[in-house]
């Protein structure tokens, strides 16, 4: 028994993580009356998701009251508005989530607390948490941002320290998750020490707004859910064959003619500013994808002669294929368009797609064939694809953007720059072999294979996402360092505003913990009650996170 | 070409259905500008779901304006408040669905309409629809209720006629679905004649509120969705092993000790009155299920000695099995409890469950074994189950309730009354053979096998529900008449308020059309654009009906 008489735990440093997690879960389960025995899913209380790198806690608790507690931001440097905004946001999440009005009091008030405790000593209330930012205030999240933080919640004081605003954001999230409601109705937090940092810097959610349009409010709800799981990249697969909702200021016809509806099913420039800002203050990068040369049918509606005309028996069929790489006008257009994109989206990274290019239309087109001959590509259309992608990469590079490409670009041997990130997605194509190849060539990689959450299975399917590790391939330590992380992908064929959030969450929590927590946090049985708590926590905060572990309930239902 | 110069269609009566459906779909598709070509799902405009038995329409349209149109209820007998309420409800659905406020005007106003038409003649506005109820006003929906209606929308007049209020309700729904928005922005309705009636009288949706609690608002949303699809039975699987949310006035401990939470996760008596009333005015019966002797773990928390104690090695294990049929107190309790139930729920039918009874606990219990010997059952525990169910059926019968039982009760040879309905659910157990057996024995049957929508598959899965026909078994015409219809079942393990509606709908629309429309309406390709319209119509009315046919969009997104 590692705990001393005063109920503080003293555990050898190398055993801290395991011991404390188990002890905390066990003790919190004992201390709440809301858990039913029987065949329903159990929940922890006050255990964070994703699991911090190092967490130590005792059974000693302090109470929290909105009338007493505050975040002390005296030590936050000027210019760190992100921290001040977050302090307000997390204060509300801690004290008012699940309430329709701040004046409602589902938690026990101080008066009720004293009454219900009867003769027992009233619980000491935590007065403040001191927030310290030791480095400079940064404004925009970026790949290399520092998300490390430390937290101490002691008997007398509490503090949250980080070098950057990003670390503070992650710490706020953790603190809000440490708070739980005790059986006497009061919000409490256990004495806790945390040292935390992410295992991977790129922890993404990809949403597809082209197969079905997703309203801005839905995208914001998704950003909320990401923040609650410390995910930090919104990969926005914004356009595709089916529709072009991005309202370009340079080429307004793209959405005027290519969107499902030019007025109601588009993202205006101000919508995008709004969304990028919403993400920014949550430490979430917005990486847009403009996928070419394939997946581009909707582009052709607004821009004549951009797509390849398909031929059959020597005649134009009326159908179109990928972007036409035989015309210089195609690259002129793309260069101008990408110039706008890198201005609109502040992140350095831009996903340029490059997946699933069909060669049949190129093969049929006389001008493309002439161009192939002129370029000396023979009948190797992968070379033509490579030529196209290389010119797009060069354009992006000229605007100082770094590119992300789907794995086909790498496999087709395109000469990609060193800072190009290769996105591995084909789950039937030996993703671990691909990761090994990509990193052996010195390129950085992202994993999405086996994280296509748009695919569904009946029952408890999250463990397969949970156990999908981006470094699970044969390679050197140096190679593994080239894995930036990964993304869960939610393709839009069968989701829209009606179900996209409930289909993503809490299944995506499994991906979030894999990408944030230590590699040894892989026990599904131990994760299950924590995931249940995280699901209910998200519901309390307005995210319709669906049941994934069979029968159960949340204190606050959606 | 069956249409004359004045654009009215004159089609031989025996060809009406097919011709008109095709013509109408084709013409409506032509007349709207909101359809994209390409790989996205197409929608019809103004075609009803489920398909009426007989529908004839022309391309001639009349406009509808909320300032001009009204339902004329002068011919509705006194006491038919259901019709008057529905007239208000459907007026709002027709003119204001999808708007946040009635004062907003997304449809073209009369003024705008005239302007946009320029020199074209303004469209004639439909002034009223005359509602005629020829029979008596009935208050409560019941199995044998008459849902037949006729509708005529002519150049000069419109009328909706039915013998009962129930037929009028179904007609209102159809009329609201015939209205569509033309490319000039105005609501219009085509000249149409309809004679319609359901193929089956029992068209149900089963929801499970025991594996996860569903808030009252969610249940009401489900009733709305049912009404929009002419479904008429809410089979409420209200309690099960995991929880007992039904708040009994006779035995309050059942929910006080057996619910997930005795205050927040229960249905109070007034909640149930509220829900039954909400269903009643929509012509929906509420058939509660209290499943015993198995699936009853939660009952045991509030009622001591109700469940069988399980033994191992001669000692009580601490665990419990099904209801204890060896004690007379069990039946005394059940009789008193069922007396309350038949008072609370006005429908004549009561689902008493009877599925999946495990015999292992009964086998282990000494008192049960003594009872078996006394009754001369030998080691045949199916006889004990039969004995239990027979006594429950007798109790229900004594209160003039008719019972529905899951198929096991029939298969175990229980002597069930003639008016007992057998519910066939086992999809791996030759449901067509079971239906044949049940009806050969003279019993009425319900089909749910292959309509377990809680099971999910990736992609377009609704055609398998659509093509599941309750009369698809070898049997006489008399036998087929004994099939009352069926129910789609949504078991609650993986759904709660976050996703239950989007998981049910529009997949359950497939079941609704199978149960309402003529047996020859089985063409999936033709149904697809109609289902798309129905999905978008439901979204416009506030139902989060998920995408089921791949990429596409709705004019009003959720």
Residue B114: per-residue pLDDT? 47
Of the residues A81, A136, A277, A356, which is catalytic?
A356
What six digits make up the tokens of B307?
């469940």
Residue A244 CA neighbour count, 13 Å, CB half? 23
* Three-state secondary structure call for residue A261: coil
Residue B32: per-residue pLDDT? 33
pLDDT less than 50: residues of chain A: 1-38, 110-118
What six digits make up the tokens of B70?
């009204």
Which residues, including other chains, have CB under 8 Å from residue A421's CB and lie 6 or more apart? A349, A402, A403, A404, A405, A443, A444, A445, A446, A484
Residue B156: per-residue pLDDT? 83
Q: What is the mean pLDDT of residues B394-405?
A: 97
Per cent of chain B over pLDDT 70 is 89
CB burial of residue B344 (10 Å; 0-12, 13-18, 19+): middle
Contact (CB<8Å) B558/A498:
yes
Tell me if B427 sits within 8 A of B450, measured CB to CB: yes
Partners of B495 on chain A (C-beta within 8 Å) are 546-547
Contact (CB<8Å) A496/B546:
yes
pLDDT of B505-546, one tens digit each? 999 999 999 999 999 999 999 999 999 999 999 999 999 999
Q: How would DSSP label each residue in A150-169?
A: EEEE-SS-EEEEESSHHHHH
* Three-state secondary structure call for residue B198: coil
Tell me if A357 sits within 8 A of A288, measured CB to CB: no
How far apart CA B323 and CA B309 sit, in angstroms, is: 9
Active site annotation includes A356: yes
Partners of B554 on chain A (C-beta within 8 Å) are 496
Residue A39: per-residue pLDDT? 63
Query: Pick the residue with more confidence: B216 or B119?
Result: B216
Q: What is the mean pLDDT of residues B229-250?
A: 98
Q: What is the mean pLDDT of residues B199-228?
A: 98
Nearest neighbour of B495 by CB, restricted to A455, A547, A553: A547
Nearest neighbour of B212 by CB, restricted to A36, A457, A547: A547
How far apart CA A248 and CA B545 sit, in angstroms, is: 31
Q: Are strands B187-196 and B149-153 parallel, antiparallel or unpaired?
A: antiparallel
How far apart CA A340 and CA A337 sit, in angstroms, is: 5
Measured in whole angstroms, the distance separating CA A428 from the mean position of its chain's CA atoms is 24
How far apart CA B467 and CA B523 sit, in angstroms, is: 9
pLDDT of B469-514, one tens digit each? 999 999 999 999 999 999 999 999 999 999 999 999 999 999 999 9
What six digits make up the tokens of A364?
């049929």
Interface test with B, best of A35, A212, A532 (most B CBs within 10 A): A212
DSSP state of B365: -
pLDDT-derived band at B106, boundaries 50, 70, 90 = low
Residue B27: per-residue pLDDT? 38
Q: Secondary structure of B289-352 in the HEC alphabet?
A: ECCCCCCCCCHHHHCCCCEEEEEECCEEEEEEEEECCCCHHHHHHHHHHHHHHHHHCCCCEEEE
pLDDT-derived band at B462, boundaries 50, 70, 90 = very high
Query: Pick the residue with more confidence: B18 or A466?
Result: A466
How far apart CA A276 and CA A284 sit, in angstroms, is: 8
Tell me if B424 sits within 8 A of B434, measured CB to CB: yes
Give the chain B residue whose CA is nearest to the CA of A550: B493
Q: Are strands A483-490 and B54-64 parallel, antiparallel or unpaired?
A: unpaired
| Virtual torsion, Cα B131, B134, B137, B143, nearest 10 deg | -100
How far apart CA B501 and CA B369 sit, in angstroms, is: 45
Residue A475 CA neighbour count, 13 Å, CB half? 23
What region does B430 belong to: left with phi over 0, alpha with psi -120 to 50, or beta?
Answer: left
Nearest to B43 by CA among B557, B554, B558: B554
How far apart CA B548 and CA B507 sit, in angstroms, is: 8
How far apart CA B17 and CA B222 sit, in angstroms, is: 30
Nearest to A258 by CA among A200, A204, A299, A307: A299
ipTM rounded to 2 decimals: 0.91
Contact (CB<8Å) A38/B550:
no
How far apart CA B358 and CA B363 sit, in angstroms, is: 10
Per cent of chain B over pLDDT 90 is 85
Q: Are strands A202-208 and A483-490 parallel, antiparallel or unpaired?
A: parallel
Contact (CB<8Å) B499/A213:
no
Residue B431 predicted with pLDDT over 90: yes
* Three-state secondary structure call for residue A320: strand
Residue B100 predicted with pLDDT over 90: no
Partners of B36 on chain A (C-beta within 8 Å) are 242-243, 260
DSSP state of A550: S
DSSP state of B54: E
**pLDDT averaged over every residue in chain A:** 91
Q: How would DSSP label each residue in A197-235?
A: --S-SEEEEEEESSSS---HHHHHHHHHHHHHTT--EEE
* Three-state secondary structure call for residue A267: strand
Nearest to B143 by CA among B421, B416, B534: B421
Residue A109 CA neighbour count, 13 Å, CB half? 7
Residue A8: per-residue pLDDT? 33
Q: Is A414 on the interface with B (CB under 8 A)?
A: no
Residue B238: per-residue pLDDT? 98
Contact (CB<8Å) A455/B458:
yes
How far apart CA B511 and CA B203 sit, in angstroms, is: 8
Tell me the nearest-neighbour CA distance from A459 into chain B, angstroms: 7
- Alpha-helical regions (H) of A303-448: 328-344, 360-364, 366-375, 381-398, 407-411, 431-440
Tell me the nearest-neighbour CA distance from A148 into chain B, angstroms: 33
* Three-state secondary structure call for residue B78: coil
How far apart CA B352 and CA B367 sit, in angstroms, is: 25
pLDDT-derived band at B14, boundaries 50, 70, 90 = very low
pLDDT of B129-183, one tens digit each? 999 999 999 999 999 999 999 999 998 899 999 999 999 999 999 999 999 999 8
Strand locations in B324-443 (E) = 349-353, 402-406, 421-424
Measured in whole angstroms, the distance separating CA A519 from the mean position of its chain's CA atoms is 18
Contact (CB<8Å) B39/A297:
yes
* Polymer length of chain A: 558
Nearest to B546 by CA among A507, A454, A494, A213: A494
* Polymer length of chain B: 558
Cα A61 to Cα A82, A139, A188, B114: the distances in Å are 29, 35, 6, 71
Partners of B547 on chain A (C-beta within 8 Å) are 212, 493-496, 498-499
Q: Is B358 on the interface with A (CB under 8 A)?
A: no
pLDDT-derived band at B22, boundaries 50, 70, 90 = very low
CB burial of residue A414 (10 Å; 0-12, 13-18, 19+): buried
Nearest to B176 by CA among B151, B201, B198: B151
Cα A129 to Cα A60, A66, A89, A108: the distances in Å are 17, 13, 15, 21
Cα A333 to Cα A291, A304, A336, A375: the distances in Å are 14, 11, 5, 21
Cα A150 to Cα A143, A160, A169, A174: the distances in Å are 21, 6, 12, 10
In B205-239, which positions are buried (b, 16+ CB within 10 angstroms) versus exposed (e)?
A: bbbbbbbbbbbeebbebbbbbbbbbbbbbbbbbbb
Start-to-end C-alpha separation, chain B? 40
DSSP state of A294: S
Nearest to B516 by CA among B18, B150, B51: B51
Nearest neighbour of A36 by CB, restricted to B210, B260, B547: B260
Tell me the nearest-neighbour CA distance from B245 into chain A, angstroms: 12
In A267-302, which positions are buried (b, 16+ CB within 10 angstroms) versus exposed (e)?
A: beeebbeebbebbbbbbbbbbbbbbbbbbbbbbbbb
Residue A108: per-residue pLDDT? 54
């Amino acid at each position: 028994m590692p705990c001393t008489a005063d109920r503080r735990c003293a555990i050898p440093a190398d055993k801290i993580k395991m011991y404390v997690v188990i002890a905390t879960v066990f003790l919190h389960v004992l201390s709440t009356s809301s858990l039913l025995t029987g065949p329903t899913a159990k929940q922890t209380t006050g255990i964070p998701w994703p699991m911090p790198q190092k967490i130590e806690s005792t059974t000693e608790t302090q109470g929290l009251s909105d009338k007493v507690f505050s975040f002390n931001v005296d030590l936050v440097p000027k210019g760190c508005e992100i921290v001040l905004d977050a302090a307000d946001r997390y204060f509300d999440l801690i004290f008012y989530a699940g309430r329709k009005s701040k004046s409602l009091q589902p938690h026990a008030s101080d008066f009720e607390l004293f009454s219900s405790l009867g003769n027992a000593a009233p619980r000491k209330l935590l007065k403040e948490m001191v927030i310290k930012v030791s480095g400079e205030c940064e404004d925009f999240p970026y790949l290399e941002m520092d998300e490390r933080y430390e937290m101490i919640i002691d008997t007398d004081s509490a503090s949250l320290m980080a070098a950057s605003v990003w670390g503070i954001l992650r710490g706020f999230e953790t603190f809000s998750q440490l708070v739980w409601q005790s059986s006497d109705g009061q919000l409490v937090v256990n004495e806790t020490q945390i040292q935390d940092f992410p295992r991977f810097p790129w922890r993404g959610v990809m949403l597809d707004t082209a197969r079905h349009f997703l309203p801005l409010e839905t995208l914001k709800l998704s950003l909320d859910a990401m923040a609650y799981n410390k995910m930090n990249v919104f990969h926005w697969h914004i356009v595709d064959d089916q529709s072009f909702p991005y309202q370009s200021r340079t080429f307004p016809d793209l959405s005027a003619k290519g969107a499902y509806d030019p007025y109601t099913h588009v993202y205006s420039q101000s919508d995008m500013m709004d969304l990028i800002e919403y993400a920014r203050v949550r430490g979430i990068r917005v990486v847009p994808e403009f996928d070419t040369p394939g997946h581009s049918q909707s582009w052709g509606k607004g821009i004549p002669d951009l797509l390849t005309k398909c031929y059959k028996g020597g005649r134009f069929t009326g159908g179109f294929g990928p972007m036409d790489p035989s015309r210089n006008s195609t690259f002129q257009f793309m260069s101008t368009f990408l110039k706008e994109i890198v201005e609109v989206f502040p992140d350095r990274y831009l996903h340029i797609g490059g997946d699933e290019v069909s060669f049949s239309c190129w093969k049929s087109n006389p001008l493309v064939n002439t161009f192939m001959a002129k370029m000396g590509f023979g009948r190797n259309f992968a070379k033509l694809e490579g030529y196209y992608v290389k010119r797009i990469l060069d354009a992006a590079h000229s605007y100082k953007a770094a590119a992300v490409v789907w794995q086909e670009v790498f496999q087709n041997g395109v000469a990609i720059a060193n800072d190009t990130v290769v996105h591995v997605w084909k789950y039937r194509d030996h993703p671990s072999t691909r990761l090994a190849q990509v990193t052996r060539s010195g390129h950085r990689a992202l994993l999405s294979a086996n994280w296509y959450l748009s695919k569904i299975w009946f029952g408890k399917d999250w463990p397969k996402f949970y156990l999908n590790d981006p470094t699970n391939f044969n390679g050197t330590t140096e190679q593994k360092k080239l894995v930036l992380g990964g993304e869960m992908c939610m393709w839009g064929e069968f989701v829209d505003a009606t179900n996209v959030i409930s289909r993503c969450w809490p299944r995506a929590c499994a991906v979030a913990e894999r990408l944030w927590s230590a590699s040894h946090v892989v026990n599904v049985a131990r994760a299950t009650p924590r995931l249940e708590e995280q699901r209910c926590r998200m519901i309390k905060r307005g995210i319709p996170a669906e049941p994934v572990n069979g029968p159960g309930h949340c204190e606050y239902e959606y």
